[in-house]
Amino acid sequence: MNMLGHNNGPTMAGGTAWRTHCWTKARQSLLPTLPLEIVRQRVRRANEIGLDYKTYATVRATTGRDIVAFLFSSNALDLRKPSDVVPDDRAAKLKAIQGCGRLLAAHQPLDPATVAEQLAAMGIVFHHSVAAPTFTESWSQIKTRMDAALAHRKLPGAGVLMVGDTEWERDWSVAGRMAGYLSAQRYFG
């Protein structure tokens, strides 16, 4: 039985280094050695969706799933006002994505449907667009908004990678229990 005020933190008993060593060895023995053909398939998949292999492999290892979609913020696309246009290098990378869904979260004053139409006219198809959370929304409201964005396409959160441009947008990926977060600079850079 825990005492009042106990936070269930790590044990203070001796032998921590030995237990850590045993845990590390056990974990290493569980990790499979992937056949070369599987590694090649994963490298190919990483290239199809515009990721470097290390990032792709990390997401796969962390979530146990393939990346089935990206959720881009309008900031990540360098769209901040209605007159903005996606830079050519980012547009080319978006067009090159194969076999992976694209979702858009547009910040105010941008209208998600209008932005999606403008991008479609450029040859960049987004499968769903939503209004981005505002700064005044609570954590539960952000979670509800992110869950709704993924539910529209019946996407598992662990299969969606968020690409954003601010630390605040990183919180969306946590609220939506997504596969992770990549900065726009890292994805497009």
Which residues does 179 contact at the CB level (< 8 Å), separation at least 6? Answer: 59, 62, 63, 65, 67, 157, 158, 159, 160, 161, 162, 173
> What's the half-sphere exposure (Cβ side, CA atoms, 13 Å) at 118?
18
At 20-66, the pLDDT tens digits run 888 788 767 766 677 889 889 999 999 999 999 999 999 998 888 99
Query: Helix count (H) and strand count (E) of the chain?
Result: 8, 5
Query: Would you say 176 and 146 are in contact if contact means Cβ atoms under 8 Å apart?
Result: yes
Question: Domains of the chain (ranges plus CATH)?
Answer: 36-188 (3.40.50.1000)
Which residues does 131 contact at the CB level (< 8 Å), separation at least 6? Answer: 105, 106, 108, 112, 145
Map residue 81 onto helix, strand or coil.
coil
Positive/negative CA dihedral, 159, 32, 30, 19: negative
At 73-97, the pLDDT tens digits run 999 999 999 999 999 999 999 999 9
